[in-house]
Chains A and B, each alone.
Chain A
Amino acid sequence: MVVNRVLSIRATVARGAVSILAQVPSMLRTLPQLAEPRALAVAVPTERDLRLDLFRGLALWLIFLDHIPSNIVSWITIRNYGFSDATEIFVFISGYTAAFVYGRAMRERGVVVASARVLKRAWQVYVAHIFLFTIYMAEISYISSSFDNPLYGEEMGIFEFLRQPDVTMVQALLLKFKPANMDILPLYITLLAAFPPYLWLLLRQPTLALAGSVAVYVLSRQFDWNLPAYPSGEWTFNPFAWQLLFGFGAWCGLGGAERIGSFMRSRVVVSAAVAYVLFSFLIVMTWYFPHYSHYVPQWLADAMYPIDKTNLDVLRFMHFLALAALTVRYIPRDWPGLKNYLFRPAILCGQHSLEIFCLGVFLAFAAHFVLVEVSDGLLMQVAVSAFGVAAMIATAALITWYKRVEGRHPGSRPPHADLAGGDA
């Protein structure tokens, strides 16, 4: 009897829950409608800006080249000629395209659906990061067991962490333990996870949203906000500081670029940008030729140094802005050259940035491995660099081909991917 009553109560509760759940979709549908009128006010270009893909593709190549230690080919990367490097380009364009893609989703499908998509993306990046971490651990474990040299007794101590996988693995899953060169994806994950509310505000009050982003940047520098890292210290790319580039990119992606376009192309801004890029170039040269560092006045050195990458130094941000100003000035959006087959490889890579970025990190490990285990000659350095970039292009082409094939025949997909354990 008692059992029966409990069951019936349960059934009632369950029916109530079902009826409430049944209403959820319609509730969700009304959410975006509430927001619709003002959101439409933001004019956003609908055609894909190939410049973004091009420069993101190039940035991915440069990040790959920079990640191979002792690589002669990394001379050509921009970090050797100015304050900022490919990371700034990557983060900015990621913000730009995220706003472009999810901004449209938020306007068409509503806040909840768009937020879910952003979080799904963050999850994908997280899984990709853990995958790379596994590869990294495999490489490190191999090196630590095969390498022994009396000259490097002290340095070999770095492999101590392999002796306590119980701690290391958990810290890696918490994104606190991040081996060298594996800092960008955790940054990207946190930026995406925090993106939905920012995007929501950006669609309504773009100026306020951008001001908020700047405020967080200023406050984080003022009060030393950062996330903790393992075994000590803090994140190499402080998300509270680097969100400025992502947020600024997102702002540009939702109409900001048009708003400041004529200003960015103005003579004053372009001259200032040229002057700043030149200044930055000369300062960086004094790092390579310490003889000339005495020409840098003490007050200037005191003001500039250290140029802080962790907290996105203002000098780095300005250098990125200067490069961006010169880019929009001299490469217009509809520049016919963008359709040239020469740029096609970089554009392809830029269009599949997550896959190609992860591949690049893996290839950098592999390239370093080859340099260490096989040969570290100059020819080999050039060869692994060229092979890596070629592999990135080939993979991007393959993904493009696959997406096209899948897209053209929707019926060719398995109808119930979930049943097959796949992702619909």
Chain B
Amino acid sequence: MRTAFITLLSTMLGVGAAFAGDDGACAVAQNLVHADYALPQVASAIQEQHLEIAVVGTGSSTLGGFGGQAKAYPARLEAALAQKLPGVAVKILTYVKPRQTAADMAGEFDRILADAKPALIVWQTGTADAMRGVDPDEFKTALEEGVETLRAKHADILFVNMQYSPRTESVIAAGNYADVMRFVALQHEVLLFDRFAIMRHWSEMGTFDLFAATKNTDTAERVHDCLGRLLADLIVDAAKMTETAGKDAHQP
């Protein structure tokens, strides 16, 4: 509802972002994807035609079942990036472990960066913290520690917050944790992929039925495909910002 409110008001105020996408369903949420900050490491990796990205996340960064991994958003992101960046070798490494809190994952970054040298870390977090009811202050501290670790290793960072899950909304207070992630992103100039707002928008617009009780994986696969595409758009846009505006750019 808040998203619809934002859309309504922002249209009224004439600040609605242009609908740039052409992927039908996914594009419904295009205006919720902003390249607020540049990704300098990604920009130079693209120039060197070799882009390596690590996705660090929990259960919602994967899909269960046979071949689920290939249909989850990290794999879709890889496909979309390869398509958008012809001539660039794109590789996505996934570090997905269920039930990990932000603090658990922040502690893993050193190990991950010892094994590989990704230009960008996509950090999907918040769900486990919301489910366990971790103190929002501790959640914030964990995010900040993670950002500090990654910055020290010269990796770009992209936050992905939790899924919008209407049927568990009365049990998991995801909203507070999504807010904390938005604040940390803003304060530390970290790019944020607001999966929560995007999926809520899809639900409100009727793009995807997120209420359905089903064992069928069709909707889940389409949702992950769209998330992968929108992520690819965001990463490419943010990398372009670096080229045009210089390395320290962080214009709105």
Contacts and interface: CB of A to CB of B under 8 A. Distances in A.
A372 interface: yes
A375 B134 CA distance: 32
A291 B35 CA distance: 11
A148 B213 contact: yes
Interface of B: 1-2, 4-6, 9-10, 13, 15, 34, 36, 58-60, 63-65, 68, 98-99, 127-128, 131-137, 140, 163, 165-173, 179-180, 182-183, 186-187, 200, 203-204, 210-217, 219-220, 223, 252
Q: What is the interface of chain A mostly: helix, strand, loop, or mixed?
A: helix
Q: Considering the complex of A and B, which 9 residue pairs feature the smallest CB-CB distances, nearest first? A: A154-B59, A69-B169, A151-B220, A72-B1, A155-B165, A150-B220, A155-B168, A154-B60, A294-B252
A49 B131 CA distance: 43
B134 A155 contact: no
B182 A372 contact: no
A232 B168 contact: no
Nearest to B176: A309
A231 B1 contact: no
Interface of A: 69-72, 74-75, 80, 139-140, 143, 146-159, 179-181, 229, 231-234, 287-291, 293-294, 301-302, 305-306, 308, 310, 365, 368, 371-372, 376, 381
A71 B1 contact: yes
Nearest to B218: A150
A154 B127 contact: yes
Nearest to A156: B168
B121 to A, nearest CB: 20
A69 B166 contact: yes
Contacts of A71: 1
Nearest to A152: B165
A158 B98 CA distance: 13
Given A148-B213, A231-B132, A288-B9, 16 more contacts: A140-B171, A148-B215, A150-B63, A151-B63, A154-B99, A155-B165, A157-B59, A159-B171, A179-B170, A231-B133, A233-B135, A289-B15, A290-B186, A291-B15, A301-B187, A306-B183
15 contacts: A69-B170, A143-B167, A147-B213, A149-B213, A150-B64, A152-B163, A153-B64, A154-B60, A155-B60, A157-B99, A158-B172, A288-B5, A291-B34, A302-B187, A376-B211
B210 A154 contact: no
Contact of A290 (B1, B36, B216): B36
Contacts of B98: 154, 157
A289 B10 contact: yes
Given A150-B215, A180-B170, A234-B135, A155 B163 contact: yes
